[in-house]
């Protein structure tokens, strides 16, 4: 059988993801004893900082009986200009799976094209599928299902927003985005999602959040956009998720944030530390969901 990659949520079918969530729930409950990565090595090729993605994949690989190898792009010959396609073919001779975090999504596609082992997208400028996979699992855990749920996205139309659009496309829940003009998500991804789910975009956070079951945000300047931080802080005025905004959501609404968070910018302290917040369960779920992903792709 040919290898399977996970570069975008849409690389898996809805049924495959539901099976993966069942496995993740079994793992989280401590009922799973398998060691599908026994004798296998997972390489983590990172060109950007990471706490959750790196640690959850390393720990996950070890818990599944395998070994993880962290490779900073800076230290590899890749950082000195060795082509990604050569790196892909060389690593494929040593390891049984690769997680990559980098800037251009095209680099991840090139790596996957040339690698003969499964490649997992650990975040690009375009998508962050592992995070949104864990987020949808978190929604299922809290509400029992995502059926009939309304998810609001407040802030930047970034890699997370794009991945949420693909999640809506797959699962069919309603997704309302509130983004300032000029900071909308990828148009093509938006149009694709629109064919399958109720997705909408507004400039008014209140409009997106009213009655929503899940309120979601992320930093205003992503990794690699440090120089735009000041201009973005101005453009995003009024997009802070605060108590007043949360009061418009459904009575049992939850707040999600992929972290790291900037308190006082995209979210107020009282929200991220308040009763709505599920951010640490969400972070924990990265581990369980990615273990299920590793077992599925590398097992
Ligand atoms: N949410 C997330 O991917 O966190 P890290 O950048 O710490 O991996
Ligand atoms: N949008 C953020 C997510 C970090 C996990 C970034 O790309 O930096």
Residue tagged active-site, from 96, 125, 218, 278: 218
Q: What is the residue-averaged pLDDT of the chain?
A: 98
Say how far apart CA 62 and CA 216 lie, in whole Å: 31
How buried is residue 29: exposed, middle or buried, by Cβ count under 10 Å (0-12/13-18/19+)?
A: exposed
Model pLDDT, residue 1: 64
Residue 2 has pLDDT above 90, yes or no: no
- Residues in CB range of 198: below 8 A, 6 or more apart: 168, 174, 175
Q: Options 3.30.1360.100, 3.20.20.70, 3.30.710.10, 3.40.50.1370; which CATH number does 131-280 get?
A: 3.40.50.1370
Say how far apart CA 279 and CA 217 lie, in whole Å: 11
Is there a catalytic annotation at residue 130? no
Alpha carbon of 27 to those of 23, 31, 120: distances in Å? 6, 6, 20
| Tokens at 198, concatenated | 């109720």
Is there a catalytic annotation at residue 128? yes
pTM greater than the 0.85 cutoff: yes
Element at 98 (helix H, strand E): strand 97-101
User: Which of the four pLDDT bands, split at 50, 70 and 90, describes residue 242?
Assistant: very high
Is there a catalytic annotation at residue 210? no
User: Which of the four pLDDT bands, split at 50, 70 and 90, describes residue 216?
Assistant: very high
Kindly give the distance from the C-alpha atom of residue 222 to the centroid of ligand 2, in angstroms, as a whole number. 5
Phi/psi-derived region of residue 225, left when phi > 0, alpha when psi is between -120 and 50, beta in every other case: alpha
- Residues in CB range of 169: below 8 A, 6 or more apart: 10, 192, 193, 195, 196, 197
Element at 174 (helix H, strand E): strand 174-178
| Tokens at 258, concatenated | 């992929």
Q: Options 3.40.190.10, 3.40.718.10, 3.20.20.60, 3.40.50.1370; which CATH number does 9-128+283-298 get?
A: 3.40.50.1370
């Amino acid at each position: 059988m040919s290898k399977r990659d996970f570069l975008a949520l849409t690389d898996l079918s809805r049924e495959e993801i539901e099976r993966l969530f069942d496995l993740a729930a079994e793992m989280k409950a401590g009922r799973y004893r398998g060691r599908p990565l026994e004798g296998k090595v997972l390489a983590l090729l990172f060109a950007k900082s990471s706490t959750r993605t790196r640690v959850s994949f390393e720990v996950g690989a070890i818990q599944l009986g395998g070994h993880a190898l962290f490779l900073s792009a800076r230290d590899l010959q890749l950082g000195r200009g060795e082509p990604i396609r050569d790196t892909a073919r060389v690593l494929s001779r040593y390891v049984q799976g690769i997680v990559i975090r980098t800037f251009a999504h095209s680099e991840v596609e090139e790596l996957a094209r040339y690698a003969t082992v499964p490649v997992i997208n650990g975040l690009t400028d375009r998508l962050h599928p592992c995070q949104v996979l864990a987020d949808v699992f978190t929604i299922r855990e809290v509400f029992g299902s995502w059926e009939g749920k309304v998810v609001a996205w407040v802030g930047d139309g970034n890699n997370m927003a794009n991945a949420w659009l693909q999640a809506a496309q797959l699962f069919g829940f309603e997704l309302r985005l509130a983004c300032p003009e000029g900071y909308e998500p990828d148009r093509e991804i938006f149009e694709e999602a629109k064919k399958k789910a109720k997705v909408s975009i507004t400039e008014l956070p209140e409009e997106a959040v009213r009655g929503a079951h899940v309120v979601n945000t992320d930093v205003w300047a992503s990794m690699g956009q440090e120089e735009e931080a000041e201009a973005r802080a101005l453009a995003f005025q009024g997009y802070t998720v605060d108590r007043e905004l949360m009061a418009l959501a459904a009575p049992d609404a939850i707040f999600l944030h992929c972290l790291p968070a900037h308190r006082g910018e995209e979210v107020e302290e009282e929200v991220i530390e308040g009763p709505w917040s599920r951010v640490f369960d969400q972070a924990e779920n990265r581990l369980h969901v990615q273990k299920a992903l590793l077992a599925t792709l590398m097992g």
